[in-house]
Amino acid sequence: MVNAAPQDQWRLLDVQANDTKLAQLAHRRRTLPELAQIADLEARIASLDSRLVLARTKVGDCERAVAKAEADVEVVRSRARRNQQRLDAGQGAPKELQAMQHELESLAHRQSVLEDEELEVMETLETAQQDVAALEADRATALASLEEAAGRRDAAFGTIDADRRAAGDARSAAAAGLPADLLALYDRVAGANGGVGAARLHQRRCEGCRLELTAADIGRIRVAAPDTVIRCEECGRILIRTADSGL
């Protein structure tokens, strides 16, 4: 059994208050809304990056298709110009000139088909470029939101960490000079009870488990020496007797 002077037992309430505050601050740090927002934004940016790779690849493919279509059209146009020049100059035998005329008609048809294909791939390229621009705009917006959320997170971390340092210093001050066996008992009980190792006995009720003590427990505590460290029979926490314990 652990014994400790009443004033040392009372100081456990200060230790407990600071431990509770430290636990609350740690929980707040872990559950800041900005953390979830940052995770969502990072996932969105990663998704946008993947989509941008595909969209930019499509733009590159379309650009190559446009270049090929333009080259194909230019080949037909060049041949048609040469034939037209020869035809206009009357170079060649009549049969050759007649064949040239037929070829010009075929080249005109072929050029029309190729120009339609060129227009189609150019429209596809324009759509792909618009997709890239939209994705880049979305990424820029998400990145700005991420930077803003990270700034709020860092500011909140700074405040919380300052409060944690203050609570830690206050806890150390409250625990300074307390008997080692009393602190060891408190730490052991706190570890087994969600961080709460000591609780006030208030109006015959344990403030740790919120249960009212039985008449037998009250009788036992009433006759206990002031330096006897009392434990709650229900939750096992150290009970601190004060003027309003109702004994």
* One CATH from 1.10.3720.10, 3.40.980.10, 1.10.10.10, 1.10.287.1700 for 32-162: 1.10.287.1700
Identity (one letter) of the amino acid at 71? A
For residue 91, name the pLDDT band (cuts at 50, 70, 90): low
What is the tens place of the pLDDT at every residue in 96-127? 767 777 777 787 888 888 888 899 999 999 99
Can you read off the two tokens belonging to residue 123? 């429209």
In Å, how far are 14, 15, 56, 166, 169 from 163, measured between CA atoms? 16, 15, 48, 5, 10
Q: For tokens 């064949």, what's the residue?
A: 99
Domain boundaries, the chain: 6-26+179-241, 32-162
Q: Strand locations in the chain, DSSP E?
A: 198-202, 205-206, 230-231, 238-241
What is the tens place of the pLDDT at every residue in 236-247? 999 999 989 887
Reported pTM: 0.76
Q: What is the rounded CA–CA span in Å between residue 142 and residue 165?
A: 34
What is the tens place of the pLDDT at every residue in 29-54? 999 999 999 999 999 999 999 999 99
In Å, how far are 27, 71, 126, 127 from 67, measured between CA atoms? 60, 6, 14, 16
Question: How many CB atoms are closer than 10 A to CB 149?
Answer: 21
Given a cut of 90, whether residue 81 has pLDDT beyond it is no
Can you read off the two tokens belonging to residue 167? 């609570």
